[in-house]
A = this chain, B = another copy of it.
């Protein structure tokens, strides 16, 4: 059954927005190394960094009809997350749909399939993370669903979840955990800032993290090159 779920509950906007201060690697670590999409989903241009709330779309392979349906469900601060029901490298999305989404305040697109008009998308500043770049046209024949749970690039995404995306990839934070993960992300960044200074000053991670004893206990041996065979 093909459905459009309206009036979904979204993660708190102030929380979702605040994630844009943190990189995907930080958020992924802060929530216990989960939520990261597979690395084949890449940004079409570098230096984009967004956070927002997911509007999800389950689409048939090579059919982009439901994207038009999804636009209407978007509101400012959203990020569109599109997952085909079977693998496709067709170009579901281009500059016209981006114009439409920008008019509604949508911040970007995550799609486990192809995208086109990438030069224009960079010019107008609409970031996309996609499986590939492909001009291959799609049809408008078969229904899908909007705002149902989808698996996108190996991660379950529920409508309203927080999405964070940058040059390192895409991370999903569940609505329920968003505030907690945000706090942990900030804490992690603070801790890293302190470590960074010490590393830049020439201290070793071996000492900062006190690894030497555990390495020795595991049996790591130091040998002089001159003493090998």
- A-side interface residues toward B, CB under 8 Å? 1-9, 23-25, 28-29, 32-34, 36, 38-39, 42, 46-47, 49, 60-62, 65, 68-69, 71-72, 85-91, 94-97, 99-100, 102-104, 114, 116-120, 132-137, 139-143, 147, 149, 151, 154-156, 159, 166-169, 171, 192, 195-196, 199-202, 204-206, 209, 211, 215, 218-226, 228
How many whole Å from A217's CB to the nearest CB in chain B? 10
Oligomeric state, in copies: 6
Cβ-defined contact, A1 with B224, below 8 A: no
Taking A7-B225, A143-B219 as known contacts, 5 extra A-B pairs with beta carbons closer than 8 A to each other, sorted by chain A number, are: A4-B220, A38-B87, A69-B215, A86-B90, A103-B200
Give Cα A134–Cα B204 distance, bound, in whole angstroms.
24
Give Cα A136–Cα B159 distance, bound, in whole angstroms.
23
CB contacts (< 8 Å) of A29 on chain B: these are 137
CB contacts (< 8 Å) of A136 on chain B: these are 28, 33, 36, 39, 86
Cβ-defined contact, B199 with A47, below 8 A: no
CB contacts (< 8 Å) of A167 on chain B: these are 118-119, 133
Cβ-defined contact, B69 with A206, below 8 A: yes
**With contact pairs A96-B199, A202-B104, A206-B68 given, residues A5 and B215 touching in the complex (Cβ less than 8 Å):** no
Cβ-closest chain B residue relative to A200: B99
Cβ-defined contact, B196 with A99, below 8 A: yes
Cβ-defined contact, A205 with B68, below 8 A: yes
Cβ-defined contact, B222 with A117, below 8 A: no
Cβ-defined contact, A71 with B117, below 8 A: no
Cβ-defined contact, B168 with A116, below 8 A: yes
Give Cα A103–Cα B60 distance, bound, in whole angstroms.
32
Cβ-closest chain B residue relative to A62: B61
